[in-house]
């Protein structure tokens, strides 16, 4: 089986940027990375089984990332109803898992989908229509939240995220579609970074002259949406692991500049709080502590007020401010690389 790296080099060698010749049977190849997804993989595949798209026109490739539960067993239950292939990979970054699935794909378009996503019946049909109607390179959409979601999910993932269509800097790889030829052209996902691989891919796509577009009509439901404050903190801390590394690769492009700036700002505030607490205890002077706490609250309050004003949802102002504080703490501690944190993906 060819690797993405080999395919990329072959693609670059062709002046017209055509993909490496290989048999193509399908319009779309859906690539699903999976690690211990026994609880949700069946629901994801069942939603694909119900799509309003000819079964003979798409394939599903599940790439198991060394699961220790029944993920593979559950996935293989759908071999009779879907054009399903199950691959296994030694434990690695999710970017490498996605690349392995893409290397085995035989579809014209690649649809990267997380194992805890539910698609709508018209997901594939609408996605293909977008590619047909617009000159786009990468498409995707913000994830919806499951029914009965907690206030954490409603405030952060539903009320905070924009649902407007149009050009964006990146789309999340949990629901990302791109033609196979363009995927090869930009070199696939970078296997050296643990997270932020979607932002990096979209940056390279835009640098190659391809547009990146948000399409709310192909939105999915994310069953793995964090429902508690602790889960939200762990989620954001994991997602922030490679943000600084991607930023430092090409500083002039300002990729991730806002996320990195906010992380450093919160780290400085955190250092000020710790130092101010020591001064308050030793010398009885709480001024630095109070100032650092106020500074730490300034960014969350400003960001929350901006969203509440734009969306006219002032009831979410206080809970959103609190979650921005948690987000800032999570991203600040990413810079410190403290503790042994396991992957939640």
8 Å CB contact between 30 and 106: no
Domains, in order of start, for the chain? 4-224 (3.90.550.10), 252-336 (no CATH)
What pLDDT digit, counting tens, does each position of 282-320 carry?
999 999 999 999 999 999 999 999 988 887 888 889 999
Q: What is the C-alpha to C-alpha distance for residues 86 and 101, in angstroms, rounded to an integer?
A: 9
**Whole-number Cα distances in Å, 6 to 100, 119, 250, 314:** 12, 32, 24, 52
8 Å CB contact between 117 and 174: yes
Return the pLDDT at 159: 67
**Whole-number Cα distances in Å, 161 to 14, 118, 137, 141, 226:** 40, 18, 22, 10, 15
What pLDDT digit, counting tens, does each position of 134-172 carry?
789 999 998 999 999 999 999 998 766 666 788 998 999
Q: What is the C-alpha to C-alpha distance for residues 213 and 169, in angstroms, rounded to an integer?
A: 8
* Angle, CA 181 vertex, CA 248 and CA 26 arms, to 5°: 130
What pLDDT digit, counting tens, does each position of 15-69 carry?
233 333 344 589 999 999 999 999 999 999 999 999 999 999 999 999 999 999 9
pTM reported for the whole predicted model: 0.86
């Amino acid at each position: 089986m060819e690797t993405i790296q080999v395919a990329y080099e072959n693609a670059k060698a062709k002046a017209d940027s055509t993909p490496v010749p290989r048999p193509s049977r399908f319009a779309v190849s859906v690539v699903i990375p999976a690690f211990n997804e026994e609880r949700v993989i069946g629901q994801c595949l069942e939603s694909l089984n119900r799509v309003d798209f000819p079964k003979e026109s798409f394939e599903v490739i599940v790439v198991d990332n060394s699961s220790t539960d029944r993920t593979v067993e559950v996935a293989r239950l759908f071999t009779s109803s879907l054009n399903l292939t199950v691959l296994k990979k030694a434990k690695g970054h999710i970017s490498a898992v996605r690349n392995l699935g893409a290397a085995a794909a035989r579809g014209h378009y690649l649809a990267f989908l997380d194992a805890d996503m539910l698609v709508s019946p018209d997901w594939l049909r609408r996605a293909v229509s977008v590619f047909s109607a617009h000159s786009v390179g990468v498409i995707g959409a913000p994830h919806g939240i499951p029914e009965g979601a907690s206030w954490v999910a409603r405030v952060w993932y539903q009320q905070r995220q924009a649902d407007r269509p149009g050009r964006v800097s990146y789309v999340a790889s949990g629901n990302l579609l791109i033609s196979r030829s363009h995927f090869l052209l930009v070199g696939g996902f970078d296997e050296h970074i643990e997270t932020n691989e979607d932002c990096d891919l979209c940056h390279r796509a835009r640098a190659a002259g391809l547009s990146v577009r948000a399409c709310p009509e192909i939105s999915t439901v994310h069953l793995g949406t964090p429902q508690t404050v602790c889960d939200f903190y762990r989620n954001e801390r994991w997602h922030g692991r490679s943000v600084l590394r991607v930023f430092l690769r090409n500083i002039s492009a300002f990729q991730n500049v806002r996320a990195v700036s906010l992380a450093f700002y919160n780290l400085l505030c955190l250092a000020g709080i710790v130092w101010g607490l020591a001064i308050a205890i030793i010398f009885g002077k709480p001024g630095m502590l109070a100032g650092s706490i106020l500074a730490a609250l300034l960014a969350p309050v400003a960001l929350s007020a901006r969203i509440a004003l734009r969306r006219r949802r002032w009831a979410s102002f206080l809970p959103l401010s609190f979650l921005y504080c948690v987000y800032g703490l999570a991203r600040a501690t990413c810079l410190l690389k403290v503790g042994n944190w396991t992957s939640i993906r």
